[in-house]
Structure 1
Amino acid sequence: MRRVRAYSGHLGLLAVLALVGALLVSGVPRLENEYTDRGLRADVAGLPWSTRDLVFTASSGLVAKTPPQTARGQLSGYEKRLPAPIPGLVEDRWFAAESALRGAFISGPAPFTGNCRPSLRVVDQSGAASAVRVVEGRAPASRGVAETMVSRDGARLGGLRVGSALTIGADDGVRTPLRVVGIYEPLDAAAARWEPLASQRLICPVPDDGFTFDVALLTDDPGVTLLGQGAGPLAYSWRYRLAPDRLDASVVAPLTTAVINARRAPVDPDLKLNSTLDAELSEFTARQRSARATVAVVESGLVATVLGLIVLAALLMTDRRREEYALLSARGGTARRAALRTLAETALVTVPAVLLGWLAATLLPGRAPATEARLLAVVLVIAAGVAPLLAARSRPRPGRTSPRPGPRRLAAEVFLVLLAGLGVVLLRRRGLQDEVDPFLVVVPVLLGAAAALVVVRLLPWPLRQAGRLAARGRGLVGFLGLARAGRSAPLSAGPVAVLIVAAATGVFTAAVSTTIGDARDQASSQLVPADATVTGFGFAPDTDKLLTAVPGVRAAVPMLIGSGVTVVPAKGMQTQAQLLVVDGSRSTHFPAALSAKAGTGPIPVVVSPAIAAKVGAGGRIIIQGRRYDFRVDEVAGSMPGLDIGAREFIAVPWAALPVPDFDPLVPTRYLITGDGFDPEAVRVAANAGQREYYLGLLNRTINAGATEVTDEQLPRLATVRTWQQERRSLDESGVNALLSFVFTAGAAGSVLLALLAVGLAVLSDAPGRGQALSRLRTLGVSRRQGRNLLLLELAPLLAVAFVAGTLVGWALPRLIGASLGLDAFTAGIPAVVGLNPWLLLQALGLLLAGLITAVAVETTAHRRMRLGESLRLGEDN
């Protein structure tokens, strides 16, 4: 205990680093698991019910031999027989017997009298009677006639009311009566049970007839049985909803396997599973696998830096106690005794520190990592065991020139450099793996260590040459600073390695974050090539005036997008492509060819490589019923305004199309430019333009006397999507919160650890520099010259270390990018690591911070040394 109190500063530093190491290997993985689990739950909760829920449908044979009451009784039995872990994850379940009635076979009062009649789905859903409130009429009680009730919304869309009597005609000529006896409101309209019963808009069989609706009605067991006997076969479905709050990343793999097995071998041979949940889980697993690889590189860099700092702290402590170990050896003490003596001290402080770090980590949210115990043991062994090993060995005095490295050491260093290079080659060949293995974790650290070895071997020579040049000058500070830097560089392999790994970790996180952010910006700009886009069914030609009348909107550029447009090449067979028509002169996002004006000859167009291979130099295209000759002016791999995955498209300049005034092009989208506009106001203005267009269409095709069109009559309501919304949606996928946390923690942690490494490197040789500085002050060297001497001694080493770390961190995504799978986070845009000027500024800022830290630590250390003591400090007895 006396020795612990005497060396409390050194042992305290060792304890703090051990605590940080324990918190890092135990706490950070817990937070990673928490963010991953949150992302998984959010992704699953946001899926549509048809994807998220496990829905089993019955074959016609099972329906024919099983009445609805019996089928409902299988709801719990089927659930218990599902593969694990599905039964433990189910939070709710429903059975539904449904009769789908096509509008063509329904007769009754309007709107069941025209050419395009509403379609009905009559459903008997388990538990529905207790989940509704009848607001008009009564609940169904079918006897001879199928009785139903409809929601308020369904009654309005389908033109139904209490007392509506319909007749269902089957294919065999049988007529089945159907009566609406009640109107209901759900007790909880947002409940999951109502999702399959939502009304849907349907396009009429003849598109010129407009559209209609599909409406769901509720009935009872006798009612659905009557419909099954007269109106056609029923459909049975057993629906199981999984609870998102019971999901975590550890169950994704077994759950995916269970869903696949439930599809391949259902609990009943007559059942079929209709769900794509396994595909969604597989996509999440792919994104998680990529995120886990990136996180592993960042975390390995931080852990390696902390462990390196522990070694530096142990070196600092044993350096200060050389005289003690020499006296112990003179009195007959063995190396084993010195090691055990030191182990008793380090274990006394590091064991509680590691336990305290682990206890602090348990307070954090998230699941404990599977490797927690092993990683904590590694931290404890290194924290408690390095100092005893160093105490058992003799070490050269710091500040003196070390002997030239022997053949074994050189061979080991060359082997390490070659091993790092070989590791990069193997990682690139292997690509992204299903699980993070130690190989991916070790290679980035090996690259940092190899860079450190190269630096400390190559740096002394240019420093010596600079020192010889400085010796010819009149100043003393430059010569002494460079001379000491040249002599001490070979002794700084440990601090340099720690600095390079820390700097590389920080730059790696910044480079990856910038790469992903730039790719997402590019993806957002392709999907929304303006401040916002307005999409609809069709707009009147003067809709741009309505849009620009909205406060904050400066311009509205019309765009026409169509799919399956016929393209006839000059030679060869005709093909189809996705069409985009826009005036490129009114936007900076499009190729110059789309700015062409009307003229003679074929229209210049931009096509994708796939279309270019099919049409050659040109051909003919049909746009809204008109034929236009075109020539290929440019080939582009992507086109703003189209989906990122679009591979067969043709883009046409709007202003180059000769269109008569009486029959203009009908835009389906507008590009909005502006700032501070209200998206809802833009949407209202766009719907006004759609109503004007649709009213003209009705007057020409269906109802010449129509004078008004409501929003509900529009085939498609306008939607507004801003660039910020698109960009934000790319950041809100399941693993993005994990990436954001890791990038922030990696950047901040690497900076703090790098500065701590600088401080330890300065402290390790502070006595030697203090002794030299004290002697120089007796010769007239001022305090300012002393600080300059320190800067000249440390600046080259720190600069080279930070530059090397920056280069390693910037190169890592390029070197091992195949093992990271960054394309999983870029919305389909290839992840390309560029040279961002911010990386250089960050490296420069880190260098300046390191120099400031070095001066501050050195100044603090020297203040604790008086002149006489510093003259004698470290001298041999």
Structure 2
Amino acid sequence: MRFWRLAREQLGTMGVLLVLTSCACLLVAGLPRATQASYDEALRRALSSAPAVLADLTVTMESSSREEDLRERAPFDSFDRLWREIMPARLRPLAAAGGHMSAKTIRTPITGTSGQSYINLGWLSDADRRVDWVRGRAPGAIATMRYEGRTIPVFEVGVVEEALSKMELRLGQTKIVGENDHAGVQIVGVFRAKDPADRYWSHHLDVLHVLRLQPLQKHITALVSEAGLGVLSGEERYLTYRWTLPVDARAASARAAGGLRAAVAEFDRLVALQPMGTAAPFRLRTALPKLLGDFLAELSTARTVMFLVLGGLLTVALGVIVLAVRLLAGRIDHALTLARARGGSLRQVAGTGAALTGLAVAPAALAGYALSYLVPGPVLPIVHAGPALVVLVAVGFAAVRLALVHRAPLHERRDDVAAARPSARRITLEVLVVVLASAGAYLLRARRLDDSAGQDPFLLLVPVALTGAAALIILRCYPYPLRLLVRLTARGRAAVPFLGLTRAARARPAGVLPVLILLPALGVSVFAAVISDGIAGTQLQASWQQVGAPIRMTSDIEVPADAIERVRGLAGVEQVVPAQTGEVQIGYGGERAEAIAVDVARWRQILGGTPLDLPALSDGALVSPELRGRGTFEIGWQSRLKLATRGVIESVPGFFTEGKFLVVPIDVQVRPAVNTLLIRGDASLSALARLVPSATVTSQETTLAAIRDDPLTSAVRWALVVVTVALAAYALAAVVLGLMVGAAERARAVSFLRTLGLSERQARRLTVLEILPVILVTALAGLGLGLGLPAALGPAVDLSPYAGDLPVGDYALDLFVPGALAAGLAAVAVLGAYAHTLISGQPRPRRRPPRGRPRRTGHRPAFRAQLGCA
């Protein structure tokens, strides 16, 4: 057997196999890299967008005696080196170089203010790089003074500009702080942060701003010099030392997120074991494990969805490649049969087919594998294993199939006359698969998802079982309605419908299997389209739910009436609805609730045509579920108000989603203190912010863009779109290959029928009618499977992290895209069948001219008798 000659004769088929294999390997190696890169970007954004005080690693120690005091910088530096030395190896890449140390007192009152004003003392190791002194000078040495008959230290301090006005301080002033152990605080400088937006300042908001821990309490932390650090003592004040190790979000990896949580716990344990000769324990303060946990919860859902769609894509791609291998095996079957009949061993025959397949798929797999490195992202194990799996499946299928077909020389088959009955064992197994798939879908909805062990295998197996069950049902049940149609067409005079439907009903299961690749392809692509559409719709709902209006302006203080009028007159503003929000007292006790006073009728007007629907309210109040059943109740706001309950509302768009809250008409207030504006129009957000400097301006459009711009959300939707397109292409390839696989048998049948008087047009119609029923049945089944999978898996797959934290469960039955996919594939399949008959049509048989007058024979009954179907 001449191997290379055989390969040259099958260049076309091998070229098809090469293209299919290279595309499959590119997808199976490139898509995981792209999705993993999106996962990493999502984690980095989550860490970088979180306040540094939550993400960074901060070691703290509270001094309570002079023996525990750190009075100079040297011990701070030695401890900083210690923390980095004992840090677990998995955590070290995440800890950025640098960091800083600090020492601060807390709850240090200004003497004589009855605990209403506090000046805490703080030392920052890098204050000289973080602040600019705009007035006065930097703090220096420590002095003393006499106070109430005692000598007390006087700290030179610097305060932020904001503290001068809000705490009524002035440069050069000396304040006495403390309750028992007094100290003097002389303000010698006023500073301003070099970069107030730096994440660094989230650790020291008490230095940069005056804080109100309670309504009447004001706190500020003043900066002292290193000389002042030598005088601070935990014996006299509440003194805390901190070592802050910043987290470098750029070094974070989604694959290492689970291990990082364990590493942080180990670091916490090691820090607590370092007494260093003092009795004060060290503690690690960080919210990094919670941030990682929240991210891993979102990642689990993303990985589940990706596994389902990418697994379906890989399965369909392998199925199409197997079809191409089967086509190649059919093309060389005659040559291999002759070789086997002339004494060729089974190993030679099977090896030749496997080598020919490997010659096509191995270079294609290498090409797809190499092209996947153009996709940015980390190299995962699947990048190496995926192409190897494709090659093994293709070569293995070729070898096994040829070995089974040619196990005996000169194999002859007549499967076209009657199909073998399936055994009782096979029927029992198929029924068991259908029952287990149905039971699995029910249990999955009942028990929901189990995230305790990572990826839930139950969730991953149920879609596969449902697809297999649907394929078995189609495989076994679709001939029966066709036989009814055959009986109806048998009564007619036209032979083509009868013959076409008869051949479709008698098709062997092996001949139908290539077309059934359409089932998972359509099922997964429709599932991806439905999920993508559900996420998009819920994102829109979430954006309106978060903002509550096309544009919302909120302020911590009252918005002046003239500012409201300027907003009304701004270009693009169509309507403005003022509102007042605040906390109210329920009854006369300590019960509190959030409230909004607004003209609900006008609010409903600006929400017209949006997904939001507010209940009408003219008087009384709409209350949250926690306040229901109270009838008429009294609240304390600007005055005492008696309100009747007019309804229960689950949430107030843009304001309240849980807890105790109520909505009241704005005219119940004698003088509303407007601090919120609800705006309809397309005005510039920056222009609105300039008109009301104290307000924060948000819009529904920017909120929706932020939701969609999330890396995980973008990765999920992008992958769904890519998989949908790829599956549609593979489904079309499956249809074409299915036609080519049965081309030889179909050509023989058509050639035989042509000798009996079948015209070319009738031959084309016959081929289309033979293919059309199974295409239509499979398309409808795939459409139903894709539409049913979201409902079956919906309770187990939480997609809310990708839809603004709203549950994605209301999958509206929009059949446009799914129907277009199914109809398009069915139409292309029919057109392909028709085109196939045009390309492979047999030449019209030649007839000798009749001698004498032709005799009428009534060919139709004889035509049917020869076919065995009269």
Preserved CA contact (<8 Å) 1:520 1:827: yes
Q: What residue number does 1:852 align with?
A: 828
Q: What residue number does 2:858 align with?
A: none
Q: Answer yes or no: is 1:383 the counterpart of 2:394.
A: yes
Percentage of pairs with the same residue? 28
Say if 1:870 and 1:621 are closer, same or farther in 2 by CA, change over 3 A: farther
Q: Residues of 2 paired with 1:298 and 1:103: CA distance?
A: 60
Q: Which segment is superposed worse, 166-175 or 749-758?
A: 166-175
CA drift at 1:508: 1.2
Structure 1 residues without counterparts, runs of 5 or longer:
108-113, 688-710, 712-716, 872-877
Q: 2:34 aligns with which of 31, 34, 37?
A: 31
Structure 2 counterparts to residues 536-551 of structure 1, below 5 A: 536-537=555-556, 538-540=558-560, 544-551=564-571
CA drift at 1:300: 0.9
Q: Answer yes or no: is 1:560 the counterpart of 2:580.
A: yes
Q: What residue number does 2:599 align with?
A: 583
Q: What residue number does 2:654 align with?
A: 641
Preserved CA contact (<8 Å) 1:637 1:647: no
Q: Answer yes or no: is 1:802 the counterpart of 2:815.
A: no
Q: 1:608 aligns with which of 624, 634, 643?
A: 624
Classify the secondary structure of the residue corresponding to 2:552. Answer: strand
Say if 1:426 and 1:307 are closer, same or farther in 2 by CA, change over 3 A: farther
Q: Residues of 2 paired with 1:391 and 1:496: CA distance?
A: 21
Preserved CA contact (<8 Å) 1:176 1:231: no
Q: Answer yes or no: is 1:505 the counterpart of 2:482.
A: no
Preserved CA contact (<8 Å) 2:474 2:778: yes
Q: Answer yes or no: is 1:220 the counterpart of 2:225.
A: yes
Classify the secondary structure of the residue corresponding to 1:867. Answer: coil
Structure 2 counterparts to residues 241-256 of structure 1, below 5 A: 241-256=246-261
Classify the secondary structure of the residue corresponding to 1:587. Answer: helix
Structure 2 counterparts to residues 674-823 of structure 1, below 5 A: 674=681, 676-685=682-691, 687=692, 717-772=694-749, 788-823=765-800
Q: What residue number does 1:706 align with?
A: none
Q: String of CA shifts for 1:808-853, please: whole Å, max 9, x gaps.
A: 122222222344232443444332142422x344323442244235
Q: String of CA shifts for 1:62-119, please: whole Å, max 9, x gaps.
A: 7743323244221121221123322332113434333457795179xxxxxx999986
Say if 1:25 and 1:205 are closer, same or farther in 2 by CA, change over 3 A: closer
Q: Residues of 2 paired with 1:759 and 1:831: CA distance?
A: 37
CA drift at 1:352: 2.7
Q: Which segment is superposed worse, 439-448 or 71-80?
A: 439-448
Q: Answer yes or no: is 1:349 the counterpart of 2:360.
A: yes
Q: Answer yes or no: is 1:432 the counterpart of 2:453.
A: no
Q: Residues of 1 paired with 2:578 and 2:773: CA distance?
A: 59
CA drift at 1:737: 2.7
Preserved CA contact (<8 Å) 2:72 2:226: yes
Say if 1:177 and 1:627 are closer, same or farther in 2 by CA, change over 3 A: closer
Q: Residues of 2 paired with 1:519 and 1:184: CA distance?
A: 44
Q: What residue number does 2:180 align with?
A: 172
Structure 2 counterparts to residues 199-278 of structure 1, below 5 A: 199-203=208-212, 217-226=222-231, 228=233, 232-264=237-269, 266-267=271-272, 268-269=274-275, 270-278=281-289
CA drift at 1:123: 3.5
CA drift at 1:467: 3.6
Q: What residue number does 2:850 align with?
A: none
Q: Residues of 2 paired with 1:133 and 1:226: CA distance?
A: 25
Q: What residue number does 1:65 align with?
A: 69
Q: String of CA shifts for 1:200-257, please: whole Å, max 9, x gaps.
A: 25449666xxx97x66654431033345599845431100111111110122112112
Q: 1:312 aligns with which of 300, 309, 323?
A: 323
Structure 2 counterparts to residues 381-460 of structure 1, below 5 A: 381-394=392-405, 402-428=419-445, 429=447, 431-433=449-451, 434-436=453-455, 439-460=458-479
Preserved CA contact (<8 Å) 1:499 1:757: yes
Q: Residues of 2 paired with 1:869 and 1:782: CA distance?
A: 11
Preserved CA contact (<8 Å) 1:511 1:833: no
Q: Aligned residue pairs: how many?
A: 810
Q: What residue number does 2:662 align with?
A: 650
Q: What residue number does 1:692 align with?
A: none
Q: What residue number does 1:694 align with?
A: none
| Structure-1-length-normalised TM-score | 0.83
| Alignment-mate amino acid for residue 676 of structure 2 | R
Q: Which segment is superposed worse, 418-427 or 237-246?
A: 418-427
Q: What residue number does 2:642 align with?
A: 628
Preserved CA contact (<8 Å) 2:135 2:190: yes
Preserved CA contact (<8 Å) 2:25 2:387: yes
| Alignment-mate amino acid for residue 620 of structure 1 | E
| Alignment-mate amino acid for residue 174 of structure 1 | H
Say if 1:447 and 1:206 are closer, same or farther in 2 by CA, change over 3 A: closer
CA drift at 1:360: 2.4
Preserved CA contact (<8 Å) 1:557 1:583: yes
CA drift at 1:784: 6.2
Q: Residues of 1 paired with 2:618 and 2:695: CA distance?
A: 29
Structure 2 residues without counterparts, runs of 5 or longer:
144-153, 276-280, 406-411, 848-870
Q: Residues of 1 paired with 2:325 and 2:380: CA distance?
A: 28
Classify the secondary structure of the residue corresponding to 1:630. Answer: strand
Q: 2:81 aligns with which of 76, 83, 88?
A: 76
Q: Residues of 2 paired with 1:563 and 1:497: CA distance?
A: 62
Q: Answer yes or no: is 1:532 the counterpart of 2:551.
A: yes
Q: String of CA shifts for 1:491-547, please: whole Å, max 9, x gaps.
A: 544234311101111111112222222223222222222212111233356765443
Q: What residue number does 1:703 align with?
A: none
Q: Residues of 2 paired with 1:781 and 1:420: CA distance?
A: 46
Q: Residues of 1 paired with 2:700 and 2:424: CA distance?
A: 61
Classify the secondary structure of the residue corresponding to 2:271. Answer: coil
Say if 1:22 and 1:356 are closer, same or farther in 2 by CA, change over 3 A: same
Q: Residues of 2 paired with 1:468 and 1:802: CA distance?
A: 24
Q: Residues of 2 paired with 1:671 and 1:44: CA distance?
A: 32
CA drift at 1:630: 0.5
Q: Which segment is superposed worse, 471-480 or 271-280?
A: 471-480
| Alignment-mate amino acid for residue 255 of structure 1 | L
Preserved CA contact (<8 Å) 2:579 2:674: yes
Q: What residue number does 1:597 align with?
A: 618
Say if 1:383 and 1:130 are closer, same or farther in 2 by CA, change over 3 A: same
Q: Residues of 2 paired with 1:184 and 1:719: CA distance?
A: 23
Say if 1:482 and 1:505 are closer, same or farther in 2 by CA, change over 3 A: same
Q: String of CA shifts for 1:410-432, please: whole Å, max 9, x gaps.
A: 33332332343344345443623
Classify the secondary structure of the residue corresponding to 1:666. Answer: coil
Q: Residues of 2 paired with 1:158 and 1:727: CA distance?
A: 40
Q: What residue number does 1:40 align with?
A: 43
CA drift at 1:749: 1.4
CA drift at 1:55: 1.4
Q: Which segment is superposed worse, 419-428 or 307-316?
A: 419-428
| Structure-2-length-normalised TM-score | 0.84
- The Cα RMSD (Å) is 3.7
Q: Residues of 2 paired with 1:467 and 1:726: CA distance?
A: 59
Say if 1:136 and 1:824 are closer, same or farther in 2 by CA, change over 3 A: closer
Q: Residues of 1 paired with 2:625 and 2:161: CA distance?
A: 52
Preserved CA contact (<8 Å) 2:800 2:807: yes
Q: String of CA shifts for 1:139-194, please: whole Å, max 9, x gaps.
A: 54425364445667777877878x634333222263424242575663x6655444
Say if 1:126 and 1:584 are closer, same or farther in 2 by CA, change over 3 A: same
Q: Which segment is superposed worse, 115-124 or 852-861?
A: 115-124
